Structure 1
Amino acid sequence: MATALNFSRGFKAELIQPYNFEMSRDLRPFLEEYWGSSFLIVLIYLLLIIVGQNCMRARKGFHLQGPLILWSSCLAIFSILGTVRMWKYMGILLFTRGFQQTVCFTSYTDDTIVKFWSCLFVLSKIVELGDTAFIILRKRPLIFVHWYHHSTVLLYTSFGYKDRVPSGGWFMTMNLGVHSIMYTYYTLKAAKVKQPSMLPMVITSLQILQMVMGAIFGILNYIWRQEKGCHTTMEHFFWSFMLYGTYFILFAHFFHKAYLRPKSKVKPKSQ
């Protein structure tokens, strides 16, 4: 393991060190320069949804059990690894620098570990669009919250990465944590392994909790925006609060429809 890079005052490098693979080439300059391409990617994604649904309308759905197991397991492994690294990092940062430092200041975003995983996190939002392909090819219902969430998360993640939104560390950490459980569930479900009946409800509940926490972090950013060194703007607050607010409404509605109505048996929404 290589020695970790110190960032502004006080964080002790010996508490968490980057692995050699986390010292790979930094793609931040490239991703920051071409972050606007995320709009084109989303446009293509939405067009492919229309084309795909039209093509499958007169066809029988594909089974795709093997590819679905492989797909979900790869995303599960990635999410679990990211969760372990980022929860450890953010936990240490929280206890050594304080909660406000993790929410309002961007000094930690230049750390080797954060740069590596945040880069992969942004790219993973493009990869995760493939979830929709499995829904269309298997002729499963494609609900609004699915494609809306995939589209806007990609856009906001690219924007937040480019602008170094300070609470982005928590956004990433929470999302990876939920995904590690969710994609593990999808893997076992595709493999026809019996699951606890309450697990889908737990996953959706965690997704809703993530939206609540995201909105709270946005509000705290706004409250602390006058603090010296706090890297927060009205633009950050507006988009984070608006998106997490709409996510909360949509996921809460999904929860009610999926688990509180006796007739409905809906699988947890893919992030």
Structure 2
Amino acid sequence: MALNFSVLASGSTGNAIYVETEKKAFLIDAGFSGKQMESLFQQINRSPKDLDGILVTHEHSDHIKGVGILARKYNLPIYANERTWQAMSRSIGEIPTDLKFIFDMESVKTFGDLDIESFGVSHDAAEPMFYIFHHSGKKLVIITDTGYVSNRMIGTIKNADYYVFESNHDVEMLRMGNYPWNLKRRILSDVGHVSNEDAALAMSECIGDRTKGIYLAHLSKDNNMKELARMSVTQVLEQQGFVVGEQFSLYDTDPKTPTTLKAV
């Protein structure tokens, strides 16, 4: 069986991604209520009871809202780095000690037929990190909350088969929109979120000869649109010499509806 994944939901209101191999299944973040999470799983014909654990990226509520609920109901191990554990412990409620695991930044853990690698990003959280999944020579990268993509990150995530990549906002929509200035400044900062154009420039440095697809994720509900994100990213990538749709495909994600399970 291949490495399969579905972006269960992604956006300002909540985020959750499902990854499975023949032997293992993991949830990356659970930014919705327990009921909503169960409904998302049903839509891809999967169940939280079959998970081997939840991997947490950082403590913001759109990533952890359902973590504690799912862990307690289905007896699921939770993996996060130490500073994230400290930052989220109040928000996720009491977790039995035997379900609490440390996953250090810049490390690799092996679960059966799946190697999971963590790497740091630049976001205004305690110690935010995302994950790379390695299985049978395939590589899936998830990177959705970072103010910029550094050369170090590019070196780590380069030439993956698939990416779930942040394309958060259109800069002009954000500037002209009705967010208070301090929030705009936070989003535009190095510890905020990447714009469509900056995401595409980072992608252009990551895409390799094995890259087959990029899912545009964590779109702002107020400062972006699927069509605009896809158009902006395509334009920048084509300026960089790529042929979108031939060399690789761009995919949308949705704040409420899962993407079809995809084999990497």
TM-score (norm 1): 0.27
Q: Which has the higher helix share?
A: 1
Q: Which has the higher contact order (CA 8 A, sep 6+)?
A: 1
Q: Which has the higher strand share?
A: 2
